[in-house]
Structure formats: C-alpha cells, structure tokens
C-alpha cells in the first residue's frame, strides 16, 4: 500500500491481519460496536497512524508469533505506536497471549514482551474439567488494575488450551474459573488483552468493544 493510501486510512482502527485471526468476525463486531473506519491491515504505515489497534489471534502461540514477525516492519510499527505513542491496544485470545514474554506451545517462543509472564498449558486439576476451555464462563474484574474499568462482570465466550500467567499480579484485570483460576484479561496503561472472544460474546462482547473504542488512557 502506498503512502497516499496509508494517509487516507490514518486515524482508523487498525485490525492486524497476519494470517492468524478471525478477522471477519472481529471486523463485524467492531463495526457493530460503533467503529466508523476499520483497516484490516498488515501495513506498518497504517499501523503507525492508527488511533486504536486490535491484534486478534487463533491457533498456536508459535505459529501466531512467527506470522507476526514475518511481516517486515510490523512488530516495530506496533511497538512504536503502542509503547511509545500510547494509542489504545487490544489483544484478543492468542493476540493477548502474544503480549507475554514467551509461550511454551511447541517449544519456547519469545513473545512481544509487553506483559512480563509466560503462556503455559492449562493443567487439568479436576478430571471433570475439559481441555480446551471452551464455552461461556464468568469474567470477574479485579478493581485494583488501572485497565479494569473496561472489564465489567459478566459472561464471555472462551476457547483456549493455554493461558497467560503474568509475573505482576497488578497487571491482571480479570479472572475466570475453570477447575481453578485462569487470567481472563490483563491491562497496563494503554494495553488491554482479553483471553475470551468479544466477537463471540454477544452483547457482553460488543459492550466491551464499545468501551475500548471510547477509551483514551
């Protein structure tokens, strides 16, 4: 994409397309939540001008991180726009997990390193509990976190076999329970990551996306 097109899409919501996300559903959910311009993109120029950034993700941590890193300049553009410029960022499912220091699926893979912690396989502590964690489950916000204002109590749709274990408990924005506590959301400053799928969580998910679109951290 040329510089002119990138300028035309400046100030859009950048939905990152790196071959590993449920883009159609997330795009439709963002539009339903009130987004006027959503750029489905892997173009670093558009990312550098985006006013909000959404990183979806389905599949393995390794495949997603490899796909993201394979696009020239994309990780660098994300780091500049999110970490330096401070625009609101939302990671969804594996997109949230990629915020971690590393993931252990198919060997150890370095993540973006924005949230200190590791992505580990969910341990089956109860024989009645099924892995993957799939279906509707409670989301319980933790009020001490500065990003928890975006997360309200309710039920959301989950689908995952691995979970993020942050080193800093103050970066945990919400928890859920599946034979034990699992992190449902993380947040710090302008960063928000959710393990559940807002685009599959009906009214609860759309309301969260609407709050994210209005977020000015």
Pairing assessment for the beta strands 154-160 and 162-166 based on DSSP bridges: unpaired
Are 81 and 73 within 8 A, CB to CB? no
Question: Residues near 45 by Cβ (< 8 Å), separated by ≥ 6?
Answer: 1, 3, 6, 77
Out of 27, 52, 93, 171, the active site residue is 93
**DSSP state at residue 28:** H
> Could you give the CA distance from residue 173 to residue 157 in angstroms, rounded to a whole number?
17
User: Measured between alpha carbons, how far is residue 25 from residues 5, 22, 57, 205 in Å?
Assistant: 24, 6, 12, 12
Other beta carbons within 10 Å of 168: 11
- β partners of residue 41: 16
Q: Is 199 considered catalytic here?
A: yes
Catalytic: which of 27, 52, 133, 197? Answer: 197
Catalytic residue list contains 64: no
197 flagged as catalytic:
yes
Tokens read off for 60: 């393995």
Q: How wide is the angle at C-alpha 85 spanned by C-alphas 87 and 42, nearest 5°?
A: 65
Residues that are catalytic: 93, 197, 199
């Amino acid at each position: 994409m040329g510089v002119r097109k990138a300028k035309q899409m400046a100030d859009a919501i950048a939905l990152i397309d790196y071959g590993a996300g449920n883009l159609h559903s997330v795009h439709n959910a963002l539009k339903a939540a009130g987004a006027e311009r959503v750029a489905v993109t892997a173009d670093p120029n558009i990312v550098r001008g985006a006013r909000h950034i959404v990183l979806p993700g389905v599949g393995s941590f390794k495949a997603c991180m490899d796909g993201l890193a394979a696009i020239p300049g994309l990780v660098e553009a994300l780091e500049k726009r999110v970490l330096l410029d401070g625009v609101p960022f939302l990671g969804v499912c594996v997109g949230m997990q990629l915020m971690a220091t590393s993931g252990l699926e198919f060997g150890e893979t370095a993540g973006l390193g924005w949230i200190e912690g590791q992505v580990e396989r969910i341990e089956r502590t109860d024989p009645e509990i099924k892995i993957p964690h799939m279906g509707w489950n409670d989301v319980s916000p933790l009020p001490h976190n500065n990003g928890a204002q975006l997360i309200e109590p309710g039920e959301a749709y989950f689908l995952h076999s691995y979970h993020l274990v942050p080193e800093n408990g103050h970066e945990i924005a919400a928890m859920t329970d599946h034979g034990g506590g699992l992190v449902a959301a993380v947040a710090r400053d302008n960063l928000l990551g959710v393990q559940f799928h807002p685009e599959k969580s009906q009214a609860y998910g759309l309301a969260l996306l609407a709050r994210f679109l209005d977020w000015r951290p």
